[in-house]
């Protein structure tokens, strides 16, 4: 099998590539940087420029499935310019892929799996969201997710399976939100945000990568939540990060107005509450390796510590 991935060098993309190679699945990937193009049998790079609708059609050669992860990070100040870039990066990527598939032909493709976000669900402390929910959050994040999914739906024109995975808070030591959340805790100034009661639907990066591959291998169709079975509130998450890092928490919760002064509109990310169900993907037979947050965090930090020790040992061995 050969899979085409957009966003292959990002946090989730790197983990998917790693897991695919462990299963002897070859990867084609698209990059906007010609300097990042590799040419190996199991890992081939191809140039594209979604902002100008350019794509090397050779990227589809031998491909039976596509994973779309392309999109600028939402973790940047939500200035008018950045908002436009966040939205355009998702829409332009999908439109470029769509045009490329129409030109090249999609006869060999069986599955198209695209990232979306649980930010589409309305902010609520009480609701428990499944994929059947039709309401959309009235924030910028909700608008991005809704527009993103509308563009994904245009791939229903093709004769292959189309799947959307609404991703929650991805836990990894190698990027995403966790290192930023852990930084003040490591420095003994960590605290929860606001009331701390806002729900955070999280997932270990390894489980999320497996979910994308599972969707392809099992020919899933429709919308699935990319979250673990047990969401936690912000108080609990911060407490468990501190426990995993062996750091105390003694400061009061950080008020909303303080973070808004620092981050502007982007502070919404810290206070939005979405309690999201993973039941649908589980009913398809997907089994999570990390079902509770303390287990996930323990693995992440133990693994990071082992890697650090390994690097130090390697460095000492070759410097002696």
The tens digit of pLDDT for each residue in 100-152 reads 999 999 999 999 999 999 999 999 999 999 999 999 999 999 999 999 999 99
Q: Is 56 left (phi over 0), alpha (psi -120 to 50) or beta?
A: beta
| Domain parsing of the chain, residue ranges | 2-301
Q: What element of type H or E holds 92? A: helix 80-104
Inter-residue contact 106 to 49 (CB < 8 Å): no
Q: What is the pTM of this model?
A: 0.94
Q: pLDDT exceeding 90 applies to what percent of the chain?
A: 92
Decide yes or no: CATH 3.40.50.450 for domain 2-301. no
How many other C-beta atoms can be found within 10 angstroms of the C-beta atom of residue 223?
A: 19
Beta pairing class for 65-68 and 43-49: unpaired
38's tokens: 């590799």
* pLDDT tens digits along 19-70: 999 999 999 999 999 988 988 999 999 999 999 999 999 999 999 999 999 9
What pLDDT score was predicted for residue 304?
74
In which band, very low, low, confident or very high, does the pLDDT at 307 lie, cut at 50, 70 and 90? low
């Amino acid at each position: 099998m050969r899979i085409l991935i957009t966003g292959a060098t990002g946090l989730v993309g790197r983990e998917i590539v790693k897991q695919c190679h462990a299963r002897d699945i070859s990867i084609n990937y698209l990059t906007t940087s010609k300097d990042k193009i590799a040419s190996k049998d199991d890992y081939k790079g191809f140039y594209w420029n979604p902002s100008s609708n350019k794509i090397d059609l050779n990227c589809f050669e031998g491909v039976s499935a596509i994973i779309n992860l392309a999109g600028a990070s939402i973790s940047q100040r939500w200035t008018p310019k950045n908002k436009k870039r966040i939205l355009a990066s998702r829409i332009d990527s999908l439109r470029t892929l769509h045009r490329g598939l129409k030109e090249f032909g999609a006869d060999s493709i069986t599955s198209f799996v695209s990232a979306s976000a649980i930010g589409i669900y309305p902010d609520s402390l009480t609701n428990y969201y499944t994929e059947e929910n039709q309401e959309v959050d009235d924030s910028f994040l909700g608008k991005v997710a809704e527009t993103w999914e509308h563009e994904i739906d245009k791939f229903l024109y093709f004769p292959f399976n189309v799947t959307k995975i609404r991703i929650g808070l991805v836990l990894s030591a190698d990027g995403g939100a966790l290192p930023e959340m852990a930084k003040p805790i490591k420095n003994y100034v960590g605290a929860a945000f606001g009331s701390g009661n806002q729900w955070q639907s999280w997932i270990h990066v390894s489980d999320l990568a497996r979910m994308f591959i599972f969707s392809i291998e099992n020919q899933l169709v429709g919308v699935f939540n990319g979250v673990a079975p047990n969401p936690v509130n912000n108080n609990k998450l911060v407490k468990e990060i501190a426990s995993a890092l062996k750091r105390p928490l003694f400061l009061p919760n950080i008020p909303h107005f303080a973070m808004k002064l620092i981050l502007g509109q982007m502070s919404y990310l810290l206070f939005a509450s979405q309690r999201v169900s993973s039941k649908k993907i589980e009913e398809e037979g997907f089994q999570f390796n990390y079902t509770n947050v303390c287990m996930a965090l323990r693995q992440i930090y133990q693994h990071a510590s082992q890697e650090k020790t390994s690097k130090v040992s390697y460095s000492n061995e070759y410097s002696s």
